[in-house]
A and B are shown apart, each in its own frame.
Chain A
């Protein structure tokens, strides 16, 4: 193990691997920050260009793009309320209000620090636990995946502000939309109306781009000047952002590990983990300023999405099961370079796996330095640019990116429709986060519930310790506040 580790360090720091790592990080941050582009498209574009590189260097390049994009997504989320990718969608909830209050610099510093720490912490953890990772993957099955999705859906009750009826309606509407297309469980066409382009359902990434990017641009169109409110002074220092993360170690660690765990669940990835982590932060904190510019909201989302990178590598490298679109492309990169994902990557070929992990650690240091030294010093300028210039640029990127995800012409219509929907949802106080949780978690919940029922129904949830734990947590989140209210009412009455 130690030999493999040193061998890996040698590989990562050799020339030109270290150069490609830096190139990958920069490119990843760039594509991650562009609304609608994100890691999948960035990696897909680069994949065929890696042919002349040796296998390990190619993987270092691809993984660096993936990791860089996870962080890059937060830049646009914070500055213009438009997440560069789905993994940073929850960053908008507090990151953007911070920008509106003139604290963009601080928010960007929080994001860079939390991303880097979350990423490094989870990578170090999986290096230490590498002999046990195969067993870790095998602990998860359909009942556990369903319960994780249910936990996320139950969080709708926690994150909804204002009318609970509106929150549940938004969540249910998101769930309802996931019923379009051919489900994994049957060959039944649901609401496809004979249109081939609807068979794969409505892309939640397109929905996210619509409600966040297009919806926000519609809202900004009604305002004059830049994104920052006219009467607000730019404040918030880089140092205060850094210390905000250091002062909240529990938030960072908890979020990073939520990301790690969810990343290991196939089919979910960072687009789920950032929401669940954010929801959990809101649930477990008595601070009720979430959604109004609370830095802990940014920590929750950003530490989780970079933590997800490490988690998603576990099933990808061990069994060739991609946890997300980005890891599917990474898997292709491995095969293209003659590296076959298997448990051998945690055995005889451990140096390849470690090289990937070491590259991520170095990459997170890069994110930290680049984020604090470059992005925080330049990014806030963006918030002073007149929105007349920003709006057409973002709309072009969002629409082009939506189409490029699956080359599906219907997505052009969907991104606009979701933009209008998002605009009116915000205007009438329907929870966007509840809607997003519904549309992202719906398919995971549905297909795993189906399998669990086929495997024996409810008793299956009680067969394994992990599923019992997840069930208990879900019930606790659902009924906990009710019990707490009852107890407080009795105490007050007494």
Chain B
């Protein structure tokens, strides 16, 4: 009523006919909106009509947090839109993921997750959402995983490492907590006869850096770390093999498992950092977010930032790429791994 009362004719008074006409057009617009009519295009042009909320399911200062703040901070600058960052940590990212799944699907909420690392806990636990239903937005970095060894052990390559576990010379193998991607890789390496790494004791640590430190100090002979950790500790540890199916960007001379003739670990051998939107976010909003992310990732500012810090940052793909990656990862995990082994 307030909108109608503000509209006046030249004389300053509103006529009954005009009031009915305005009210009628309001009803028509309302009905069209309810019916999902062709005004979607206008809506898409207006997007974003509100602050974009970036829900980060991890604490401040972690890799996921920093990449998200850089990319979506750059989007905010380039597109002159308001972007808000909310950290909702807890339960290995599941608290934030659960809130994200139930959030507004109008395109104004996005969240960074790492595939498949952050998907695995959701598959193991009985959560009330499905990562496969999340909409992909853009993938912006790949973190490769490697096996490192203590330099004093002089482990030549992966084959020699396998032999030394088989001989009983080594028994401990390190990685991150049970139920994490590192742990699942270690389990596959042990249980799959093609690899046959016969470790007896899996030693879990809080993070990749801690695993690297344990290998460097000789507490454990080998462990799985991210390639960033291996680069940072290149004087203290030897890289035994890469777990991805391609040449390691930081260690091109180190053969990967597939170079040595072992089966490919697929997406499990690394981690792709990506941005998601809640289920049922409209395609045109996803397109806007995808374009904005690509523009930000490829900007000189962000590329300069990544170069300066020796970080990997590239637009790896948009919505389709992220959704395919997510589905394939989930399929691989379900096919390859007995998830009950990790459940209570």
Interface residues of A, Cβ cutoff 8 Å to B: 43-44, 47-48, 51, 134, 137-142, 182, 184-189, 194, 196-197, 199-200, 266-267, 315, 319-322, 325, 328-333, 335-344, 406-408, 447, 451, 454-455
Chain B positions within 8 Å of A199 at CB level: 90-92, 94-95
Cα(A184)–Cα(B308), bound, Å: 34
B207 touches A454 (CB 8 A): no
- Partner of B179 from A187, A197, A447 at Cβ < 8 Å: A187
Q: Tell yes or no: B168 within 8 A of A by CB.
A: no
Q: Tell yes or no: B210 within 8 A of A by CB.
A: yes
Q: Contacts A336-B66, A454-B172, A454-B201 given; 12 further ones with Cβ under 8 A?
A: A44-B60, A134-B236, A138-B216, A266-B206, A320-B229, A328-B61, A335-B309, A338-B306, A342-B233, A343-B232, A343-B233, A451-B203
Chain B positions within 8 Å of A187 at CB level: 124, 177-179, 342-344
Cα(A338)–Cα(B303), bound, Å: 11
Cα(A43)–Cα(B61), bound, Å: 10
- Partner of A186 from B178, B207, B228 at Cβ < 8 Å: B178
- Partner of B309 from A137, A188, A329, A340 at Cβ < 8 Å: A340
Interface string of B43-86 (1 = CB under 8 A from A): 00000000000000001111101100110010000000000010
Chain B positions within 8 Å of A48 at CB level: 69, 73, 85
Cα(A333)–Cα(B69), bound, Å: 11
Interface string of B287-311 (1 = CB under 8 A from A): 0000000000000000001111111
Cα(A343)–Cα(B61), bound, Å: 20
Cα(A137)–Cα(B90), bound, Å: 29
Q: Tell yes or no: B231 within 8 A of A by CB.
A: yes
- Partner of B207 from A47, A139, A321 at Cβ < 8 Å: A321
A336 touches B70 (CB 8 A): yes
Interface residues of B, Cβ cutoff 8 Å to A: 59-63, 65-66, 69-70, 73, 85, 87-92, 94-95, 98, 124, 126, 172, 177-179, 201-207, 209-210, 212-214, 216-217, 219-220, 228-229, 231-233, 235-236, 305-311, 342-344
Chain A positions within 8 Å of B311 at CB level: 335, 338, 340
A142, closest chain B residue (CB): B219
A332 touches B60 (CB 8 A): yes
**Whole-angstrom distance from the CB of B264 to the nearest CB of chain A?**
26
B66 touches A335 (CB 8 A): yes
Chain B positions within 8 Å of A342 at CB level: 231-233
A184 touches B213 (CB 8 A): no
**Whole-angstrom distance from the CB of B56 to the nearest CB of chain A?**
11
B61 touches A47 (CB 8 A): yes
Chain A positions within 8 Å of B62 at CB level: 328, 332
B73, closest chain A residue (CB): A51
Cα(A321)–Cα(B229), bound, Å: 10
Chain B positions within 8 Å of A336 at CB level: 66, 69-70
Chain B positions within 8 Å of A321 at CB level: 207, 209-210, 213
Chain B positions within 8 Å of A140 at CB level: 217
B309 touches A184 (CB 8 A): no
Q: A320-B232, A332-B61, A336-B69 are in contact. Are A189 and B308 (CB under 8 A)?
A: no
Q: A335-B66, A343-B235, A451-B204 are in contact. Are A407 and B89 (CB under 8 A)?
A: yes
Chain A positions within 8 Å of B210 at CB level: 266, 321
**Whole-angstrom distance from the CB of A147 to the nearest CB of chain B?**
14
Q: List 8 A-B contacts (CB under 8 A).
A: A182-B91, A184-B177, A184-B205, A196-B98, A319-B232, A328-B60, A332-B62, A337-B309
Chain A positions within 8 Å of B63 at CB level: 335
A196 touches B309 (CB 8 A): no
Cα(A196)–Cα(B203), bound, Å: 25
Interface centre among A137, A267, A336 (most CB of B within 10 A): A336
Per CB-CB distance, the 10 closest pairs between chain A and chain B, nearest first, are A332-B61, A338-B308, A342-B232, A338-B309, A187-B179, A199-B91, A329-B61, A321-B209, A44-B60, A138-B217
Chain A positions within 8 Å of B217 at CB level: 138-141
Chain A positions within 8 Å of B214 at CB level: 141-142
- Partner of B310 from A44, A328, A340, A407 at Cβ < 8 Å: A340
Q: A48-B85, A51-B73, A406-B90 are in contact. Are A319 and B213 (CB under 8 A)?
A: yes
Cα(A139)–Cα(B216), bound, Å: 10
Cα(A142)–Cα(B92), bound, Å: 23
A327, closest chain B residue (CB): B61
**Whole-angstrom distance from the CB of A319 to the nearest CB of chain B?**
5
Q: A319-B232, A407-B88, A455-B172 are in contact. Are A332 and B65 (CB under 8 A)?
A: yes
Cα(A196)–Cα(B101), bound, Å: 15
**Whole-angstrom distance from the CB of A165 to the nearest CB of chain B?**
35
A333 touches B61 (CB 8 A): yes
A408, closest chain B residue (CB): B90
**Whole-angstrom distance from the CB of B246 to the nearest CB of chain A?**
23
Chain A positions within 8 Å of B65 at CB level: 332
B63, closest chain A residue (CB): A335
**Whole-angstrom distance from the CB of A111 to the nearest CB of chain B?**
28
Chain A positions within 8 Å of B61 at CB level: 44, 47, 322, 328-333, 335
A332 touches B219 (CB 8 A): no
- Partner of B213 from A138, A186, A325, A406 at Cβ < 8 Å: A138
Chain A positions within 8 Å of B344 at CB level: 187-189
B213 touches A137 (CB 8 A): yes
**Whole-angstrom distance from the CB of B209 to the nearest CB of chain A?**
4
A189, closest chain B residue (CB): B344
A338 touches B305 (CB 8 A): yes
B97, closest chain A residue (CB): A196
**Whole-angstrom distance from the CB of A48 to the nearest CB of chain B?**
6
A184 touches B124 (CB 8 A): no
Q: A196-B90, A406-B90, A455-B219 are in contact. Are A320 and B209 (CB under 8 A)?
A: yes
Cα(A44)–Cα(B56), bound, Å: 13
Interface centre among A47, A331, A338, A341 (most CB of B within 10 A): A338
Q: A141-B217, A199-B90 are in contact. Are A341 and B60 (CB under 8 A)?
A: no
Chain A positions within 8 Å of B88 at CB level: 407
Chain A positions within 8 Å of B179 at CB level: 187
- Partner of A47 from B60, B220, B235 at Cβ < 8 Å: B60
**Whole-angstrom distance from the CB of B176 to the nearest CB of chain A?**
9
Cα(A141)–Cα(B223), bound, Å: 15
A196 touches B89 (CB 8 A): no
B91 touches A196 (CB 8 A): yes
Cα(A48)–Cα(B15), bound, Å: 54
A320, closest chain B residue (CB): B209
Chain A positions within 8 Å of B209 at CB level: 315, 319-321
Chain A positions within 8 Å of B95 at CB level: 196-197, 199, 408
Chain B positions within 8 Å of A137 at CB level: 213
Chain A positions within 8 Å of B309 at CB level: 335, 337-340
Cα(A48)–Cα(B84), bound, Å: 11
B60 touches A329 (CB 8 A): yes
Cα(A44)–Cα(B89), bound, Å: 13
Chain A positions within 8 Å of B178 at CB level: 185-187
